[in-house]
């Protein structure tokens, strides 16, 4: 066993304590009553569902990530879709994600938050799911599932915007 393992094991309780302080618990976020525009309530619900799904899979950090976005939405804050720069995404996957984000931003900017908040929130949450699952360590089936849900939600958002014109 390398020497540095003993140092890592010695610091493990400290890391555990600090990570517990930084992790967002989906149960406490679930009890929050969302404030602000309708899209915030739907984002809260969508991100919370993703957090709970990740928690069931045992992905505590990913669960906490989505729970923190749910908490921001519930507090009435603007929650932006993820940028790929914050994630370890293979260059071969980046272009499709960037195009998807650009399409989402345009659809939401075209009054999607007001006219079709349910579809806008669903599309944003599924885009974020796609980004997170595209992280190089993730399974391909999860990536494709999130991408498919994003494409479907974006289509519904665009249809809602066309119908309102």
* CA–CA gap between residue 72 and residue 84 (Å, rounded): 20
Does residue 129 lie within any of the structural domains? yes
Question: 125-151: per-residue pLDDT in tens?
Answer: 999 999 999 986 667 888 999 999 999
Domain assignment present for 1: no
pLDDT score of 16: 38
How far apart, in whole angstroms, are the C-alpha atoms of residue 155 and residue 14? 47
The reported pLDDT for the residue numbered 133 is 93
- The answer to whether position 33 is within a domain reads yes
Q: Which regions in the chain score pLDDT beneath 50?
A: 1-21
Domain extent at residue 111: 25-164
Q: Is residue 18 included in any domain, yes or no?
A: no
Residue 86 lies in a domain: yes
pTM exceeds cut of 0.85: no
When divided into structural domains, the chain yields a total of 1
Which pLDDT belongs to residue 91?
93
- Integer CA distances (angstroms), 144 to 25, 74, 133, in order: 27, 28, 9
């Amino acid at each position: 066993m390398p020497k540095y393992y003993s140092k890592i094991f010695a610091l493990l309780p400290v890391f555990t304590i600090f990570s517990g302080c930084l992790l967002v618990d989906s149960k406490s976020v679930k009890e929050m009553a969302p404030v602000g525009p309708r899209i915030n309530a739907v984002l809260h619900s969508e991100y919370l569902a993703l957090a709970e799904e990740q928690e069931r899979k045992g992905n505590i950090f990913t669960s906490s990530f989505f729970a923190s976005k749910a908490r921001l939405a519930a507090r009435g804050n603007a929650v932006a879709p993820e940028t790929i720069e914050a994630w370890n995404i293979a260059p071969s996957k980046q272009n499709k994600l960037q195009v998807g984000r650009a399409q989402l931003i345009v659809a939401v900017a075209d009054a999607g938050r007001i006219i079709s908040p349910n579809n806008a929130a669903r599309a944003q949450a599924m885009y974020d799911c796609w980004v997170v699952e595209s992280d190089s360590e993730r399974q391909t089936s999860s990536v494709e599932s999130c991408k498919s849900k994003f494409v479907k939600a974006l289509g519904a958002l665009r249809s809602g915007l066309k119908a309102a014109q």
